[in-house]
Amino acid sequence: MKLLVFGKTGQVAQALARRLPPGTTAHFLSRGECDLADPAACAAMIAASDADAVINAAAYTAVDRAETDEANATTINGHSPAAMARAAAQANIPFIHISTDYVFDGSGTAPFSPDHSTAPLGAYGRSKLSGEEGVRAAGGVHVILRTSWVFSAHGTNFVKTMRALSQTRNHLRVVSDQNGGPTSAASIADACLTIAAALLRDPTLSGTYHFAGAPDTTWANLARAIFQASGAQTVVEEIPSADYPTPARRPLNSRLDCTSTTATFGIQRPDWAADLSQVLHALKEPQP
């Protein structure tokens, strides 16, 4: 299998590069090769490629900045994925697009199913929803894979932030009323690879799916797990989201119902604690 991957330095793209199975090759597109702010250029890269499948692992992920930069976020997260999906449909190759729990409003306590109505709380969620709609409208073979709370040993994420803070702080206030499934970039990469191969065998599996680590937890409990696993003595004080205001509202309920992903592709929800242990071990090693 030959893949064309949008993204090179992001968390999932880096994980994909490290986890390609034997017989699978990939061309990872950096920003210098293809600017996601240029939808036509994104489509042209697919049209010129001989790839068997395309994975979009790149996105505008600055949730708070998107509140004052929505047009740019929408181009990158909305217009460009739509252009990619149209080009992939024209080339008759599967397109896998990574999306987010932020397309939901975070109400209630039940996990959101893939067909649940969407209602983003902010600009970032609206931009990602725009991308989803464009991918579906393209009419090609595709999977939209929604995930949540992504972490790895690379890039910027909650695990790395908490680990760094614990080295200088013995007390941290962490939000405890947001619930979701922490998901390692490595597990997302593995899921994308499995899905790409499955779509090549059976294009009728197209659709929207959810994938998140298990069990669901809170940011405060995740922080405690990080500190315990890394040997830090930092104490976590639980606070409500209202006590930690941000420019963009975060969904209180980010739980995702992943049963259709398991039923269709045989992909189980990964144990985030096991993945966390691997990430913390990697962070102890010199980073490339």
Instruction: Point out the residues that are catalytic.
Output: 124
**Whether the Cβ atoms of residue 240 and residue 146 lie closer than 8 Å to each other:** no
| CA distance readout (Å), 54 to 24, 106, 253, 263, 267 | 13, 30, 30, 23, 20
Closest C-alpha among 167, 149, 169 to residue 159:
149
How do beta strands 217-218 and 179-180 pair?
antiparallel
Closest C-alpha among 52, 57, 138 to residue 97:
57
Angle, CA 153 vertex, CA 272 and CA 226 arms, to 5°: 50
Closest C-alpha among 38, 30, 36, 41 to residue 5:
30
The dihedrals phi and psi of 236, each to the nearest 5 degrees, come to -100, 125
Query: What letter represents residue 204's amino acid?
Result: T
